[in-house]
Chains A and B, each alone.
Chain A
Amino acid sequence: MSPPLEPQADFMKFPTVFLALALAAGAAQARDVTHELGTTDVPDSPERIVVLEFSFIDALAALNLAPVGIADDDQRDRVQPVWSERIGDDWTSVGTRKTPNLEIIASLQPDLIIADKSRHAAVYETLGQIAPTVVYDSLTGDYEDMLAVADEIGTALGRAEEMDAFQAGHGARMDALRADVSEQTQGDDAQFGVINANGLWLHSPKSYVGSLLASFGFAPAMPLTGSDSYGELYQKTTLEQLSALDPGLLILGKSGDGRTLDQDWNADSLWQQIDAVERGRLFNVSSDLWSRARGMLTAEEIAADIRDIAATLK
């Protein structure tokens, strides 16, 4: 897939011609894209893209590009409405993010696959047999890291300028939302966690949501120490540990209408004495949006949630 090598001597005689040809060739041919697991020849304007993590949908949607295949965990409603508005509904589910269905991916005849560093490293070479594959980190890192990955994806797709333009607009919209709420949130220590029937996982200040909350003027409830490994970013927490943390504002991400652990804790005085619970500063949000759907479009949705939460604070 490397660019054809022409006899160079001829071109050296006509530097201007060479330069013009080189520029023309660069616009029409595959480019080397460096990513987490190596360097890949990516076609100049890929049109049939398969994405294996949710944050990659966001990067494509920002460019108004519709993927042909999405690893949606076989649950189409995990794809956020804010993305569907831009990418439509004409894509095929390729199964779970953990074990995407390689046969379905191949049948879609993609010209680019975007995969996650930790989930898909084991099948990187196999994916490469299907189509050029680029790999980024979708699961760790904070809000700024997400922006940087989106920027890299823009470059990989040959649409760096469009991505820059979108990110500028996104930054302005986020700033406007921050200005709306910063007065109400100063000094409050806020904590986000995902809760289901089996447990509560707190997102550390270094996590994606943690960094978003900080940018909205909240103080962290958890200590700022700790590495940015997955286990430290998303810490499983007991009621006792939560009580010791004693956040002044607690945001719980829930998926669906099923029973969650806080309903059991409700009768416990330990729970009732948590500062946020005592002061009625307990909020429920969608964990699909807050925890799974990292991205720029979804960050604006989360920011709107934060604005609504802040409006209730006095």
Chain B
Amino acid sequence: MSDARRPEFPGLRGPVTLALLGALLPVLMFAGLFAGAIPLEIETVVNSLLGRDGPRQDFIVLQSRLPRALLAALAGGALALSGALIQALMRNPLASPKIVGINSGAAFAVLVTAFYIPALPHSLLPVPAALGGLMAGALVWWCAQRGDIDPRQLTLVGLAVGLTLDAGVDALLVANTGPESSAPLIWLTGSLWGRGWTHLASVAPVLLTLAAAALILAFRLDLQALGPRRAAGLGVRIGLERTLALLAAVILASVAVSVVGVLGFVGLMAPHVATRLVGGRHRIMLPTAALFGAVLTVGADTLGRAIRPPLEISAGILTALMGAAFFIWLLIAEDRRI
């Protein structure tokens, strides 16, 4: 990756990478329609997609693989975007929705709802998830405001809030040991098993709107990256910009968590990869991170479906494995650079 720091065509590097990732995503999603427990012929997939006569597998192609691929792309992209925003706002490369406690807050709220308000339809779970994420975020923010804590310490506060909420998640699982807790347990590992169009419809409007808003904020964030004083000097209203971007980040991650669970490391890994690929300017880095997160999650879900049928390996387990390996490599690489 040494060339990442000395690009030959700095002006073109971002757009070209973005275009390549943008092309890779639909290709990967299309390829995923063929792979899985039941490998399908191209004819079968095309027949089902176009509603033509001949051999078809409508449920597998149209009700399972297609909505799952779209949902994986959307949720993976949202988590990555959230991570990129949080890293930028906290100016801390180790920050992510998981590290600052948002995932745990969303997970805790979803579990409370699932166990104690079982009548609530699954399509409404993004609401408590967003509230839980916002409450965790507000708690972290409140602690930070009180002590005028710098961004690095803010990560520690977030970690503490997240661990407390994780303990709450554990307590809920201990109190609810029956088979009715098996679905939440699978969901917690970050799984797209059993997900379909209804789940996609329940989160797509919010996620797409917030993603668009985040990309508009990206330009402002480029100024923020200079540091609060210099950005203020350039006319950026620090308080408002930060709050809006943080709100977007928190809700993006929480809503994604409400349908696909805690997908380990996507929010942490994608911004790093994006920065290495295209540099730190947010108007390029944010969409690159989002696309990379989408590619990663679609790839993990497809792989998880195809590795060892009839079992499904949760996408979250695969992203966590990849993420752990990536971070060990990153630490070693950073170490060498120093």
Contact = CB atoms under 8 A, between A and B. Distances in A.
A99 interface: yes
Interface in A126-149: 126, 129-130, 139-140
Given A74-B310, A104-B38, A106-B59, A118 B122 contact: no
A231 interface: yes
Interface centre among A93, A106, A231 (most CB of B within 10 A): A106
Contacts of A95: 309-312
B179 A139 contact: yes
Contacts of A74: 310-311
Contacts of A101: 37, 309-312
Contacts of A152: none
A1 interface: no
B60 A107 contact: yes
A229 B178 contact: yes
* Chain A: interface size category: 20 to 34
Contact of A122 (B60, B63, B178, B183): B183
Nearest to B180: A118
Interface in A67-119: 74, 93-96, 98-104, 106-107, 116, 118-119
A230 interface: yes
B57 A106 contact: yes
Contacts of A231: 176-178
A137 to B, nearest CB: 10
B180 A103 contact: no
Interface stretch (B189-197, B200-208, B292-300, B320-328): B189-197
A123 B64 CA distance: 12
Contacts of B179: 116, 118-119, 139, 230
A236 B176 CA distance: 13
B128 interface: no
A98 B182 contact: yes
Nearest to A127: B194
B309 A104 contact: yes
B60 A126 contact: no
Given A94-B310, A95-B310, A103-B38, A230 B182 contact: no
A99 B196 CA distance: 15
B264 interface: no
B194 A123 contact: yes
Contacts of A122: 122, 183, 194
Contacts of A100: 310
Contacts of A139: 178-179
A107 B57 contact: yes
A54 to B, nearest CB: 13
A140 B193 CA distance: 25
A103 B36 contact: yes
A106 B64 contact: yes
B180 A230 contact: yes
B59 A129 contact: yes
Given A74-B310, A126-B63, A107 B38 contact: yes
A97 to B, nearest CB: 9
Interface centre among B64, B65, B310 (most CB of A within 10 A): B310
Contacts of A121: 180, 183
Contacts of B64: 102-103, 106
A130 B59 CA distance: 7
B37 A96 contact: no
Contacts of B194: 99, 102, 122-123, 126
Contacts of B28: none
A99 B312 contact: yes
B242 interface: no
B183 A103 contact: no
Nearest to B63: A129
A267 to B, nearest CB: 29
Contacts of B180: 118, 121, 230
Nearest to A53: B179
Contacts of A93: 310
B186 interface: yes
B305 interface: yes
Interface centre among A126, A130, A229 (most CB of B within 10 A): A126
Interface string B167-180: 00000000011111
A75 to B, nearest CB: 11
Interface string B80-106: 000000000000000000000000000
Nearest to B183: A122
A96 B178 contact: no
A98 B38 contact: no
A297 B51 CA distance: 46
Contact of B60 (A106, A116, A123): A106
Nearest to A105: B59
Nearest to B186: A99
Interface of B: 36-38, 57, 59-60, 63-65, 122, 176-180, 182-183, 186, 191, 193-194, 196, 198, 305, 309-312
23 contacts: A93-B310, A95-B311, A95-B312, A96-B310, A98-B186, A99-B186, A99-B191, A99-B194, A100-B310, A103-B36, A103-B305, A104-B309, A106-B59, A106-B64, A107-B57, A118-B182, A119-B179, A122-B194, A123-B194, A129-B59, A130-B59, A229-B178, A236-B177
List 3 A-B pairs, minimum CB-CB distance, nearest first: A230-B178, A95-B310, A106-B59
